Amino acid sequence: AQTVTQSQPEMSVQEAETVTLSCTYDTSENNYYLFWYKQPPSRQMILVIRQEAYKQQNATENRFSVNFQKAAKSFSLKISDSQLGDTAMYFCAFVNTDKLIFGTGTRLQVFP
């Protein structure tokens, strides 16, 4: 079975600091995609960053970057220079064929 695990229910960080959210997954597939989605209080699901499993280079989107360790099946999200607007639930997700499988989420609070 394909599963996604986020072991940190809640995290907090001070504005301008850096925070890392953890995610591990389990699959027997070799080609797949990994994502981090953000869900602010408005509940809209917003794609933050995407990683293709066949690419060794870690994806980066402005202040957001990932540490993708394929052998360890680990996919952490690093948020640099945290902003108040980063406060949200963050979901790690996995897909290899047709449907996204989500983790249970990490609630991130950014403090001023």
Residue type, 44: Q
Using rule CB under 8 A, residue 102 touches other proteins: yes
Structure tokens given for 55: 């690419």
Calpha distance 75→70 (Å, rounded): 8
Residues 6-65 interacting with other proteins (rule: CB under 8 A): 6, 33, 35, 42-47, 50
Calpha distance 33→7 (Å, rounded): 20
**Which range, of 16-24, 69-77, 79-87, 91-99, touches other proteins by CB under 8 A?**
91-99
Q: Which one among 48, 59, 68, 105 touches other proteins, defined by CB under 8 A?
A: 105
Per the CB < 8 A criterion, the answer to whether 13 and 111 are in contact is yes
**Which range, of 19-27, 60-68, 76-84, 94-102, touches other proteins by CB under 8 A?**
94-102
Sole residue written with tokens 């403090």: 111
Point out which residues bind other proteins (CB under 8 A). Answer: 4, 6, 33, 35, 42-47, 50, 91, 95-105
